[in-house]
Structure 1
């Protein structure tokens, strides 16, 4: 903790003064993912592209592995200008920018192609821009896959199979509502406690994407993986508006172009990781189940209705996405 505080003070002094070292302006970027993660590889592409486009006048210093704090903590550092950029889940970002809640709606996207048509089109760009009034300017979306159910002792083939099962979810109201609507018992729990909780029967399973399923070693104790893909919440690459406004117009163009390039590269890294992790899971004896997703989508409609009652102003955007 002491090291982290010292580091943050150092960053604050460097960034808020727009200090340059040998003619190079440094962009400090912190995130919570390990360096083996496909999203981190995408960020490395952002680093490389920006330094190339700016001919070395802009550089990126990356602090991975949560060195600067949790996603929420780093977002707050962006808002006050202590850190220039970060990568967070749209789910976390929704606590700051309400429009990001939309991207967590279950079965919002028909498939991966539809998802990125929306995210990389006018709707997605509009949501990225909404963060500016909260000092969090969105640059691009990174593929974070789709979340699906995995369980230790009972296979989930239809929503009825969720009855009586305790399923760990993020501490996110929409995720909680979705599992409950499908007939399960949503159980918010720290991710770090989840392996032991499944092992000891505190919960019967959880939901996440294939890279997380494998990197957490949950495939060792959960032998059923149901690819229902109930939510496809992207990650978002953000830059603090305080830092953004310190850049020249040309520098802003370089930053945005580098982000766009990195997003396309990250999609490839993500797909490669999913293929590798699915192969690892199958080899470990995990049964991969491909259910009829329409059954799950039908039972989760009440979650969307509840969301639109709470946020009626979001209805036009939701409808536009569905009709895209």
Structure 2
């Protein structure tokens, strides 16, 4: 009996050692990247429609990272499949369930990094050239450093994307600020964005993006604001409360392309450089796709019966300035706001 027990114990020990060895090899192959072996990267955005500039950007990321690594880095792109809310994506990135995500400044402030809300201020930028000069320059570098340091390396910013320039659209055109008085508008209901729309006389109203078409159609909300590629893709312009588009141009949007900084630091130097090169290529691809789609989406809206008008933006810009000054003082980034203004 004792011989049998010893034999059984010996076989179990051999089996355990073999299994442990297999598990160790699999872990290294799937991707800490410490040994330069194959790694898998999960990249995600929250847009469920793949015909989207976000998708173009991440597909370019995938193309470059896999090509430059000779297939040793595999990138898996998720279009809304692991989270349709940006807050979900931020949490997944922090916990390691995603490796690359795209989020807006508003959701980054929920992580306690209040400075990023600088890029959400109305009328901060007056053109794409101005926006690119800022995010690709000293201010963008400073913001990236703030995000990395204040998140304790949970988040590392590797590129600035855009979600377009946002305009008003509603049940009537806007010819002056007086036309906004009393109108409900689907937008943020707290923070500096909400404060701005309240100052115009409108009423910020909370409606989920996926429910907005029905809300406009059924007169639940009078108006909304967003960029052409997004609201035209959702057919908001075909509703009675969405067919009048006034080009307010109140927000040249900024989106953050983030990686988990702690995981990024575990990769080899070569792997890190490949990822940074792919991020740079993705920035160019996403912006080009966005700029192209803005023109196409605007024309589509017009062709389908939407009415577009321009407006004197100066009164709206002047209304925004004191709100900007107050907000940046609370954020502690007055110097960055001045650099943005000087860049115009």
TM-score for the superposition, normalised by structure 1 = 0.89
Deviation at 1:18, TM superposition (A): 2.7
Deviation at 1:19, TM superposition (A): 5.3
Residue in structure 1 matched with residue 210 of structure 2 by the alignment: 192
Residue in structure 2 matched with residue 65 of structure 1 by the alignment: 80
Matched, 1:248 2:261: no
CA, structure 1 residues 175+188, in 2 after alignment: closer, same or farther (shift >3 Å)? farther
Distance 1:184 1:204 in 2: 10
Residue in structure 1 matched with residue 231 of structure 2 by the alignment: 213
Question: Pick from 144, 147, 150: which aligns with 1:131?
Answer: 147
| Secondary structure of the structure 2 residue equivalent to 1:83 | coil
Question: Pick from 249, 252, 260: which aligns with 2:280?
Answer: 260
Distance 2:190 2:251 in 1: 13
Q: Is the 8 A contact 1:181 1:302 kept in 2?
A: no
* TM-superposition CA deviations, 1:262-281 (whole Å, max 9, x none): 11121111112111111111
| Secondary structure of the structure 1 residue equivalent to 2:168 | strand
Unpaired segments ≥5 residues, structure 1: 1-12
Q: Is the 8 A contact 1:140 1:263 kept in 2?
A: yes
Distance 1:40 1:201 in 2: 32
Matched, 1:32 2:46: yes
Residue in structure 2 matched with residue 4 of structure 1 by the alignment: none
Residue in structure 1 matched with residue 167 of structure 2 by the alignment: 148
Residue in structure 2 matched with residue 47 of structure 1 by the alignment: 62
CA, structure 1 residues 89+15, in 2 after alignment: closer, same or farther (shift >3 Å)? farther
Matching of residues 70-219 of structure 1 within 5 Å: 70-96=85-111, 97-133=113-149, 134=151, 135-152=154-171, 154-219=172-237
Distance 1:54 1:314 in 2: 39
Deviation at 1:204, TM superposition (A): 0.7
Larger Rg: 2
| Secondary structure of the structure 2 residue equivalent to 1:94 | helix
CA, structure 1 residues 69+293, in 2 after alignment: closer, same or farther (shift >3 Å)? closer
Deviation at 1:27, TM superposition (A): 0.8
Unpaired segments ≥5 residues, structure 2: 1-25
Deviation at 1:205, TM superposition (A): 0.3
* TM-superposition CA deviations, 1:179-216 (whole Å, max 9, x none): 11112111122222222222222211000000111112
More displaced, 111-120 or 93-102? 93-102
| Secondary structure of the structure 2 residue equivalent to 1:55 | coil
Deviation at 1:259, TM superposition (A): 0.6
Aligned pairs, number: 310
**Displacement over 4 Å in runs of 4+:** 13-17
| Secondary structure of the structure 2 residue equivalent to 1:107 | coil
TM-score for the superposition, normalised by structure 2 = 0.84
CA, structure 1 residues 14+142, in 2 after alignment: closer, same or farther (shift >3 Å)? farther
Distance 2:108 2:294 in 1: 24
More displaced, 156-165 or 86-95? 86-95
